[in-house]
Amino acid sequence: MVTFDLETADGRLDALRRMQLVREFEETASRLGADGILEFATVHLCLGQEATAVGACAALDDGDDITGTHRGHGHALAKGLDPERMMAELAGRREGLCKGKGGSMHLADTDKGMLGANGVVGSGVPITAGAALANHLDGGDNVSLAFIGDGAVAQGQVHEALNLAATWDLPLIVMIENNGVGEFTLADEQHNIEDLADTAAAYGIPGVTVDGMDVEAVWEAVDEARERAVAGEGPTLVEGKTYRYHGHFEADPEPYREESEVEEVRENRDPIATYRDRLIERGDLTEEGFEELVADVEAEIEAAVEFADAAERPDPEAAYDDMYADPVPEIDELRNPTLL
C-alpha cells in the first residue's frame, strides 16, 4: 500500500506537509551549520529537491526499502525517519540514529526500511539490488528503491546493478534526481545524453523522465514502477529533473551558475510553492491551512533541534563498539598495548 495516496486530498496534503518538513529541516541544518550545533558537520542539502524524495517515497509501501545518497536528508524524512534522531545524528550525539557514528552521509534506520544514505556516488544501487533480491526470494510484495543523482549515472557499478536486476526481474526502482550538476560540474559536461533515463534501453527496462519539481508526476511514475516490480516485471529507471538551490555543500562558491538562475527557479518552479498553489486551486487547501501547516512543521523541526541540542555527546569509548556482531580480540589488544 502506498504511504500517501496522491489521488486523495488527504494524501496530497500529507505529501505537501512532508515536503515542507524536508524544506524546514534543510534550512535549519543550513542555519545551524553556519552558527550552531552543526558547525562541525559536513552536510549536502537537498533544498529544491523535495518533490523527488517525497513523491518517490509516498508511492512506496512502509515495508519497502530505500537507499539514499550523500544528499540524503530528504530521502530519510520522506521514508518516515524521526527528525529528532536525524538532527541528533547530524549533531553527532549518542541518541542519533547511528549513535553519532554515521552523520549526515550515513543516516540509516533499518526498521523503517532506510538502508542508508551513502557517501559514495552510485554505491547504493548494488546494495539496493540485493535488498530487492532478498524481497524477491522472500516472495512478498515489497520492492526496493535506490535514489541516485545525475552524477551516479556515470558510475560503472550502477550499470552492473541495473543489468543484474533487469536480468533477474528484481523488484527494483532506481530514482535519478537529476539536478543538473554533479558535485561542481554541470551534468551536460558529464554525460552525452540529455535524458539519463534513456540508459534504461541498454537493459531492456522502462526509462521514464518526469518533471522532478512536480511531486505528483514523480509519484505517478514511481507508483507505476512499483506495480511493475510487484508483478515480477523487473526494474524501472525513473528520472526526475530537479534543481539544487544550494551548492554541492554549504561552502561551495558555485562558480558553475549565476545566482539569478537559482532565483528564477525558486520564483517560478519551486516544488512546494507550486504544489501549494495547485492544492489551493483544487480546493484541497486554503491559504490559512497552509500557514498552519508551515507553523506546525516549524514547531516539529524546532523540537528536533531542541532534542539534538539536549542530547548527550557520545562516550569516546563507544568509538570501539559496533565493528562486529561477534567482536574480535584485536581491537581491545591494540587499544591497550603492554610490554612483556
What's the gap between Cα 272 and its chain centre? 17
Secondary structure element (H or E) that encloses residue 259, with its range: helix 259-269
Give the interface segment with other proteins, choosing from 36-44, 48-56, 102-110, 175-183 (CB under 8 A). Answer: 102-110
Residue among 178, 172, 174, 247 nearest 211 (CA)? 178
Of 102 and 234, CB closest to other proteins: 102
Whose Cβ is closer to other proteins: residue 157's or residue 190's?
157
Grid cell at residue 267:
520564483
Candidates 97, 221, 222, 237; binder of other proteins (CB under 8 A) is 97
Query: Which residue, 121, 144, 125, 77, is CA-closest to 89?
Result: 77
If the CB atoms of residues 45 and 131 are measured against other proteins, the closer one turns out to be 131
- For the bound state, the minimum distance from the C-beta of residue 178 to other proteins, rounded and expressed in Å, comes to 22
Q: Which of 244, 171, 187 is nearest to 213 (CA)?
A: 244
Dihedral angle, C-alpha 53, 55, 60, 62, nearest 10 °: 70
* List 30, 42, 163, 190, residue binding other proteins (CB under 8 A): 163
Q: Report how many residues bind other proteins under the rule CB under 8 A.
A: 50
Answer yes or no whether residue 175 interacts with other proteins by CB under 8 A: no
Chain centroid to CA 219: 14
Instruction: From 83, 75, 88, 82, select the one nearest 116 (Cα to Cα).
Output: 75
One character per residue 104-143, x = contact with other proteins (rule: CB under 8 A): --x-xxx----xx-x-x--x-xxxxxxxxxxx-x------
Report the relative pairing of strands 236-241 and 207-211 from DSSP bridges: parallel
Distance CA 325, CA 323 (A): 7
Q: Do the beta carbons of residue 18 and residue 54 sit within 8 Å?
A: yes
Assess 169 for contact with other proteins (CB under 8 A).
no
CB of 112 to other proteins, least distance (A): 10
Q: Applying CB under 8 A, which of residues 160, 198, 250, 300 lies at the interface with other proteins?
A: 160
- Give me the residues that bind other proteins (CB under 8 A), please: 65, 96-102, 106, 108-110, 115-116, 118, 120, 123, 125-135, 137, 144, 156-157, 160-161, 163-164, 167-168, 321-326, 328-331, 337, 340
